[in-house]
Amino acid sequence: MFYFDNFYGKKILKSSLLNDCDCFFTTREFPLTKGSLDSIELECNNNRIFMQNKLNIKSLKTAKQVHGENIEIVSDEKDFYDNTDALISNIPNSTLILNFADCVPIILYSEKDNTGSIIHAGWRGCAKEIAAKTVEKMKKELNINPKDIIAIIGPSIGKCCFETDEDVFLQLIKDKTKKDIYAQKGNKYYIDLKMLNKYQLLEKDVHNIDISDYCTCCMSDIFFSYRKENGITARHSAVLKIKGDKKCQ
């Protein structure tokens, strides 16, 4: 279940599945990344410093997101990852952050391994199955059992607002019998990207999944929406701090 909370007075969204971790989605009231809104650059810089101080961390590990399928396991030395849409970390006290305005943010975390990930899965990432590939990488390279992973699928553009033409539909919907993930009206399609990502995770044996009902486009008073604001908008962020000790307590 998702609920609004506050991070030292600033509005954030959390999931009850990861109550006790420093793991949340920021909102319009707490922007960390300016996107194309140059006017809020100072506010974002101040918010980042504020958050780092409160989380007691020196740096944030982030990426130049390109709607691709490159997934990186972060290292101690490096904070910025070019051409990357999913970051994985098992380094105690390291903090991951990726940025969103309609695309689907997914946070994965295994308490047992104190290892987590943030994934940027918009429609292109979804078509490339980046969520499934991130789980596979965690399994293969870090020996994480998918059954130990909790997945939080955060606020994104909903089926109500994600209208596409047939070309995008055909890239996304391989199984037309799954009627809960799309609707057709005339020659337009409405696709549920959050549900698509959920199916990808289920297929990889991740079953403990919380999925947000919030549509960023309908709720652009709370979140940033690329579609609603014609691209002229900032970004909300998904943030995950890996615990300092071995287990999430």
If the CB atoms of residues 91 and 218 are measured against Zn ion, the closer one turns out to be 218
If the CB atoms of residues 17 and 218 are measured against Zn ion, the closer one turns out to be 218
Q: How far apart are CA 88 and CA 112, in angstroms?
A: 15
Q: How far apart are CA 136 and CA 88, in angstroms?
A: 12
Per-residue mark of binding to Zn ion, 180-219 (x: CB under 5 A): -----------------------------------x-xx-
Per CB under 5 A, the segment of 33-41, 145-153, 160-168, 239-247 that binds Zn ion is: 160-168
Kindly report the length of the chain: 249
Nearest-approach distance from CB 161 to Zn ion, in angstroms: 3
Q: Name the token pair of 148.
A: 């130990």
Instruction: Please answer whether residues 146 and 188 qualify as being in contact, where contact means their C-beta atoms are separated by less than 8 angstroms.
Output: no
SS3 sequence, 157-185? Answer: CCCCCCEECHHHHHHHCCCCCCHHHEEEE
Count interface residues toward Zn ion (CB under 5 A).
6
Q: How far apart are CA 53 and CA 142, in angstroms?
A: 30
Nearest-approach distance from CB 172 to Zn ion, in angstroms: 17
Instruction: Please answer whether residues 156 and 223 qualify as being in contact, where contact means their C-beta atoms are separated by less than 8 angstroms.
Output: no
Site for Zn ion (CB under 5 A): which residue of 37, 91, 161, 168?
A: 161
Q: Is 242 in the site for Zn ion (CB under 5 A)?
A: no
Q: Name the token pair of 180.
A: 């809960």
Q: Is 42 in the site for Zn ion (CB under 5 A)?
A: no
Q: Name the token pair of 227.
A: 């579609």
Nearest-approach distance from CB 5 to Zn ion, in angstroms: 23
153: phi then psi, degrees, rounded to nearest 5? -100, 110
If the CB atoms of residues 161 and 222 are measured against Zn ion, the closer one turns out to be 161
Site for Zn ion (CB under 5 A): which residue of 1, 42, 160, 170?
A: 160
If the CB atoms of residues 12 and 217 are measured against Zn ion, the closer one turns out to be 217
Q: Is 101 in the site for Zn ion (CB under 5 A)?
A: no
Handedness of CA 29, 33, 35, 38 (dihedral sign): positive
Instruction: Please answer whether residues 224 and 218 qualify as being in contact, where contact means their C-beta atoms are separated by less than 8 angstroms.
Output: no
If the CB atoms of residues 144 and 191 are measured against Zn ion, the closer one turns out to be 191
If the CB atoms of residues 200 and 220 are measured against Zn ion, the closer one turns out to be 220
Binding positions for Zn ion, rule: CB under 5 A: 158, 160-161, 215, 217-218
